[in-house]
Structure 1
């Protein structure tokens, strides 16, 4: 009987010891869960040198990254060109294309609307040629006509920039192409301010939100078909606005969309990858709506 009691005591002790080992093991199998914020509400990555996003309906700045840093903006310059022309001209005005307009795009490696010298084209159509294929020939023709003269037009661009409160912008031409005497500059914030003003003009919005534009031939000009370089179009509420590229400026984009009763306007400058600017812009729009 004595030996049996010893054996029972030993077994009880072993069971108690095993239970002590089992308790920590159970605790480790149920780790503490840490709440994770949904990634949709995290600020999307922005790879460009500068970016700015504003809700124009409320004035709320949604994102700002080096938004007041001065840098070249390439063909975003043409937003100001279109804005000045719309203040100066009638849409039914006609502009005669010259060989100098055509040479300007060819000689400076600029994108072209393939305008033909001698054609007489309405301003409303030239604006499509300016903004969709980003025609430097169209920019030259419009600036030459409504300066009058290129220098006069550039003065109007800078005067308009001052009126709009674009304190960190300087325009040196109507197309944003590099110039031997020095390039112009602007900021992401200033370009968003310009886009907000331009998008208040229905004719401007009609142009920038069009994926393509066809001009039938008549007795004054040949037919033209222009396709928009802005890959944002076709997405919900997209309004364009303008693409741009030079080696100095990198890939640039002014974009806008009407989403859930809000007008969102953004600018990306100095992106190193062409398609990534569109992906980033789309991500920013979706993020701003959900945030």
Structure 2
């Protein structure tokens, strides 16, 4: 029997977290000073409400046009009693300060490091070029699930179609058709262990099915200003899922405001009890497993067309930072690139 979410998943993961709504900036932008900032702190009880679809937090770019070189952002916060409050619209300015400070040489074909609070670009390599993003896709999958406020305790049974893959690719999963889990565990499988069938099942069981889910993914990308991004499915097996490092910086900073995604993507290990077998699973990011860095969001990815990829939201020298790497040659090269960049940022002055 699948574990009861509230008694097991909540207990093991210890879902008592702080969701910081103050880090609102996108890649290549700086927040105007003097704006009001909001934060939400959820108790364990309120976290439980989030898992069951009763609380949501999201950031969306405002509908009205903005002056060239700027964008407007409105934050909506749904409290546990269902009331929705919106923060004042914030205007942000394009800003890039990545062209100095003895930047390290890295293996990845594209990279971005930005200050997660001010939007200053600290490091950039081919950051505006779109590439296949593999399982980095699953971060947007998680955002769509969180935005939908679905019942996270609802049971999902994997079907053979969830293992079909894309472009002839095998899903390479330890899961099997007929395995059952609740929606929260499916999301944890997708984020922590990068299980493709779990991501496919999340899209299949979304209201309106896969077509509606992919449409929601692309609509969310557009609303965030991810102009180089396109999704065709929810797992990342299809190389037609493309994005730029800049766009993914936007996504990571937005995703970092969802407590559920923060917790699930950085869980080092978890034993999934499927009733008739237990799957002992580890996070796909060695930097999360080893615990040497303060990582708030993590997602890795790999298909042949994309190379080795990783995105992270971390805290370096008291600075919130977003790290994006696309197209490294190997897992070791990806980890080495990330380590070099994070070490370098840790030594930078707080303001540039």
Shorter-chain TM-score: what band?
0.7 to 0.9
Structural RMSD (CA): 2.0
Following TM superposition, by how much is the alpha carbon of 1:165 offset from its aligned partner in structure 2, in angstroms?
A: 1.0
Secondary structure, counterpart of 2:199 in structure 1:
helix
- Structure scoring higher RCO (CA < 8 A, sep ≥ 6) equals 1
Q: In the aligned structure 2, how far is the partner of 1:99 from the partner of 1:186?
A: 29
Match for 2:153 among 70, 78, 92? 92
Note the 1:60-75 alignment, pairs <5 A: 60-75=120-135
**Contact 1:111–1:134 under 8 Å retained in 2:** no
Structure 1 segment 43-122 matched on structure 2, within 5 A: 43-88=103-148, 89-104=150-165, 108-112=169-173, 114-122=174-182
Question: In the alignment, is the contact (CA less than 8 A) between 1:119 and 1:222 conserved in 2?
Answer: no
Deviation of 1:240 after TM superposition, in Å, equals: 4.5
Does structure 1 residue 223 correspond to structure 2 residue 284? no
Aligned ranges 1:208-247 → 2 under 5 Å: 208-218=265-275, 222-233=277-288, 234-247=291-304
5+ unaligned residues in a row in structure 2: which ranges? 1-100
How many equivalent residue pairs? 245
Q: Where does structure 1 lack aligned partners over 5 or more consecutive residues? A: 1-40
Rounded to whole Å, the distance in 1 between the matches of 2:293 and 2:300 is: 18
Q: Deviations over 1:94-117 (max 9, x none)?
A: 222222223448x622232x3333
Give the SS at the match of 2:341.
helix
Match of 2:263 among 186, 206, 223: 206
Match of 1:253 in 2: 310
Residue 83 of structure 1 and its aligned partner are, at CA, apart by 1.0
Q: In the aligned structure 2, how far is the partner of 1:236 from the partner of 1:69? A: 28
Contact 2:163 2:171 in 1 (8 A): no
Match of 1:15 in 2: none
Contact 2:163–2:170, Cα closer than 8 Å, also in 1: no
Kindly provide the CA deviation profile for residues 216-240 of structure 1, in whole angstroms up to 9, marking residues without a partner as x. Answer: 344xx74332211101111221235
Output one character per residue of 1:129-157: Cα deviation in whole Å (capped at 9) or x when no partner: 11222111001100001153222211110
* Alignment of 1:42 onto 2:102: yes
* Alignment check: 8 A CA contact 2:203 2:210 kept: yes
1:145-187 deviation digits (Å, cap 9, x = unpaired): 11532222111100110111101100011111136xxx12110
Per the TM alignment, residue 282 of structure 1 is displaced from its structure 2 partner at its CA by: 1.4
**Greater strand share, structure number:** 2
SS in 2 for 1:232: helix
State TM-score, norm by structure 2: 0.65
Distance 1:187 1:204 in 2: 21
Q: 1:254-277: CA deviations, max 9, x gaps? A: 122123322111111111122111
Task: Give the whole-Å Cα distance in 2 for the aligned partners of 1:222 and 1:159.
Answer: 38
